[in-house]
Structure 1
Amino acid sequence: MSEQTLARPGVTIVPIHGKTPKIHETAFIAPGCVLIGDIEIGAESSVWYNCVLRADVFTIRIGERTNIQDGTIVHCDPPHPGDAEGSPAVIGDDVLIGHMAMVHGCTIEDRGFVGLGAIAMNKSRIGSDAMLAAGAMLTEGKVMEPRQLWAGRPAKFLRDLPEPAIAGMQAGVMHYTENAKHHAAAIAAAGLT
């Protein structure tokens, strides 16, 4: 992975415990974001305005072409007695995470979707092509199988997703990948680099 850990315009990057965020050179990190500790962000991913990714106690891994939208918080939990594996935050490729989501110590498989204001808690799993609806709360240890829609607080299975819904999520991934390039150019044009 080609990485850039140097300062980015308006982004706070904080090394802690000897770990510094590793950000692919093609990833877009918007001004106002705070990235702390043992984070890796893959190619063409985007982290939008005012997100906080805090890997001070364990790891956060983000794949390629994934977008984490404005105001989202990503955190993790360390290994401890009774939980030797801990709860890293593992986010795959082509994932959509909506505005103001809370992603904590969970796994989101490739092409998973987290809706606006949704919460995914420790050791929960969102399967590939699955959708956690806006405002839903996926409680600790719950597993969403691939292509499922879950909603509610606590979230429960509603139905399997049809092909048009899955295609729509992938269109969203393409939109954010392209839109990130426009924002990076606008920031550079404004002299903020």
Structure 2
Amino acid sequence: MALIKSIKGLTPKWGKECYFSENATIVGEVTMGNECSIWFNAVVRGDVAPITMGNGVNVQDGACVHVTNTTGPTVIGNNVSIGHNATVHACTIKDGALIGMGATLLDKCVVGKGAVVAAGALVLQGTEIGEHEIWGGVPAKFIKKTRPDQAESFANHYIEYSKWYLEEDKKD
């Protein structure tokens, strides 16, 4: 079972058919919709401000989602994929976006609907990424527009994978 921890009277909440790996950590004021998944060694820490996730969000292995008490919450839309070892900090990610492996999103940045942040990219504080745009580099810059459904399709894979794990857990 994942480490699910309350802090200062704030306890994580989630919807139906969510999967949390055995060594995932979820702390504080975290609210998740249905079919979300938090994978191995991932941390979702809403200890000083809230983290809100829609339905079908996946936070992959080693990723960290956190907040800042002076700049506000982290808000994640529906069907968002946060790649392995990514850092998402006090920002907004809109529906269907894909955050690549090892990417870093700093405070107050906004990732638009269906956008892709490339692996290893650094999205600076306050940056606004438009809908269906691909950004990459250090610091991240616009590269090109996405293909239709390029980013959105990734979340569906993780919903399927999480069902495999939920089914396996029922056997134990």
Tell whether the structures are fold-level matches, with TM greater than 0.5: yes
Once the two structures are superposed, the pairs formed by residues 66-105 of structure 1 within 5 Å of their partners are: 66-79=57-70, 86-105=71-90
Q: Deviations over 1:67-116 (max 9, x none)?
A: 1111100100113xxxxxx2211110011111010000010000111000
Does the alignment pair 1:60 with 2:51?
yes
SS of the residue aligned with 2:144? strand
- Shift of the alpha carbon at 1:174? 1.4
* Counterpart selection for 1:180 from 119, 138, 162: 162
Flag structure 1 segments of 5+ consecutive residues without an equivalent: 1-8, 80-85
- Residue 123 of structure 1 aligns with which residue? 108
After superposition, residues 103-114 of structure 1 pair within 5 angstroms as 103-114=88-99
CA distance in 2, matches of 1:90, 1:50: 21
Q: Which residue of 1 is the match for residue 139 of structure 2?
A: 154
Q: Which amino acid aligns with 2:113?
A: S
Partner letter of residue 171 of structure 1? Answer: S
**In 2: Cα distance, 1:123 partner to 1:170 partner:** 22
Matching residue's letter, 2:166: A
Deviation at 1:162, TM superposition (A): 2.3
- For structure 2, the residue ranges without an aligned partner over 5 or more in a row are none
CA root-mean-square deviation: 1.1
Determine the C-alpha separation between the residues in 2 that align with 1:171 and 1:113: 9
Paired residue secondary structure (2:8):
coil
Q: Which runs of 4+ in 1 moved over 6 A?
A: none
TM-score by length of 2: 0.96
- 2:167 maps to a residue whose letter is A
Matches of 1:170 and 1:160, distance apart in 2 = 14
Deviation of 1:14 after TM superposition, in Å, equals 0.9
Aligned residue type for 2:115: A
Q: Percent identity?
A: 35
Question: SS at the partner of 2:14?
Answer: strand
Instruction: Look up the match of 2:31.
Output: 40
SS at match of 1:183: helix
| TM-score, length-scaled by structure 1 | 0.86
Larger Rg: 1
Q: What is the SS of the residue equivalent to 1:19?
A: coil
